[in-house]
Amino acid sequence: MKSIQIFRTVAQVRQWRANALFAHQSVGLVPTMGALHDGHCSLISQSLQDNDKSIVSIFVNPSQFAPHEDLDAYPRTVDADMALLNQFPGKKVDAVFIPKVSEMYPSGISTNIDEQRGAFVAVKGCSEQLEGSSRPQFFRGVATVVTKLLNAVTPTRVYFGQKDAQQCVVVQNLVKDLLIETTVKVLPTKREANGLAMSSRNAYLSEETKQKSAVIYQSLVNGERFYQEKSQHGPVNVGEILARITDTLNDSTGFDIEYIALSHPETLEDLEVVEPGVGAVVSTAVRVPREGSSQQTRLIDNVILH
């Protein structure tokens, strides 16, 4: 069986892509920051199913971290990630792109936005709220690196998880507005048995906190159930849905709720009522205790109302 090719440079990726193009083969890209888990695996499986060739990128992108955030501590597990990709059941990915920071940021990169030089991509209107309000440079960083990866790979399709709902909206608008020729595929959130959304940051949690964190999804589901009942009779007031969610979430001691929001599914504007047929993204960010440290880990999750 052919082994997975590992590329370190954009030039290598471009050569590989050119060969696929000559052979009239479609290419799927799964962008990741590594620390691969079942959520990534479902994106990879879908890419393998949809495309002739699949490539996974593993790059912990500095520009989406603020100076005080966990860039240095972010899990880097390339050996385990490669082992997982090599043991993938059935068809395997064809290539993995693991660039150095200097390859992706030829003009250099600082996490301090005032020191940054060079080109960056901002997707205005959907980047400032929700995750963007506590992480003002986050989506600029995501949009910038995703643009670079799309430019390097020019994939037929690119895959993202619904868990990062706002990231999906930002990328969809990026691809639309910058006329990038690719199809953005968004796949459902993968969850632990207790409902906790899978995330590389779950590695920071003790078993006890992981169990307690199940309440995040449960509270969203309570809001969703309430909406499903009420929406049969027309638009539903956001305040009433929020009350169902906070009732459950407020019970969990030691958890700090950063936000719970109901937003328009395409523009992410704040809603006052949810119209059946238009629906909403119900999203939350919660800070929970981190294993063996006084710091907290920030967990996000969302459900979609239809």
Helices 165-177 and 138-153: crossing angle, nearest 10°? Answer: 50
Instruction: Pick between residue 97 and residue 227 the one whose CB is nearest to ligand PAF.
Output: 97
Angstrom distance (rounded) from CA 10 to CA 103: 7
Least separation in angstroms between residue 167's CB and ligand PAF is 6
Q: Which stretch binds ligand PAF (CB under 6 A): 140-148, 175-183, 201-209, 283-291?
A: 140-148
Residue 225 phi, psi dihedral angles, 5° rounding: -65, -45
Q: Which stretch binds ligand PAF (CB under 6 A): 27-35, 104-112, 116-124, 242-250?
A: 27-35
Q: Is 41 exposed, middle or buried (0-12, 13-18, 19+ CB in 10 A)?
A: middle
Q: Contact between 123 and ligand PAF (CB under 6 A)?
A: no
Smallest CA-to-CA distance from 188 within 43, 37, 28, 35 is with 43
211, amino acid identity? Q
Q: Which of 24, 40, 264, 306 is catalytic?
A: 40
Catalytic annotation present for 40: yes
Candidate list 13, 145, 215, 271; residue touching ligand PAF; CB under 6 A = 145
Give how far Cα 253 sits from Cα of 250, 288, 291, 295, Å: 7, 9, 16, 16
**How much of the chain is in helix, strand and coil states, percent to nearest 5?**
40, 20, 40
Structure tokens at 169: 């909206």
Least separation in angstroms between residue 150's CB and ligand PAF is 11
Instruction: Pick between residue 81 and residue 164 the one whose CB is nearest to ligand PAF.
Output: 164
Residues within window 30-59 making contact with ligand PAF, judged by CB under 6 A: 31-33
Query: Around Cβ 187, how many Cβ atoms within 10 Å?
Result: 17
Angstrom distance (rounded) from CA 29 to CA 158: 5
Q: Contact between 63 and ligand PAF (CB under 6 A)?
A: no
Binding mask 64-93 for ligand PAF (x = CB under 6 A): x-----------------------------
Least separation in angstroms between residue 145's CB and ligand PAF is 5
Candidate list 61, 137, 147, 173; residue touching ligand PAF; CB under 6 A = 61
Give how far Cα 66 sits from Cα of 114, 140, 193, Å: 11, 11, 32
Binding mask 149-188 for ligand PAF (x = CB under 6 A): ---------------x--x---------------------
DSSP 47: H
48, amino acid identity? L
Instruction: Pick between residue 18 and residue 80 the one whose CB is nearest to ligand PAF.
Output: 80
Angstrom distance (rounded) from CA 261 to CA 268: 10
Q: Which stretch binds ligand PAF (CB under 6 A): 25-33, 75-83, 191-199, 218-226?
A: 25-33
Q: Contact between 142 and ligand PAF (CB under 6 A)?
A: yes
Instruction: Pick between residue 44 and residue 238 the one whose CB is nearest to ligand PAF.
Output: 44
Q: What is the CA radius of gyration of the chain?
A: 20
Instruction: Pick between residue 109 and residue 145 the one whose CB is nearest to ligand PAF.
Output: 145
Catalytic residues: 40
Positions that interact with ligand PAF (CB under 6 A): 31-33, 61, 64, 142, 145-146, 164, 167
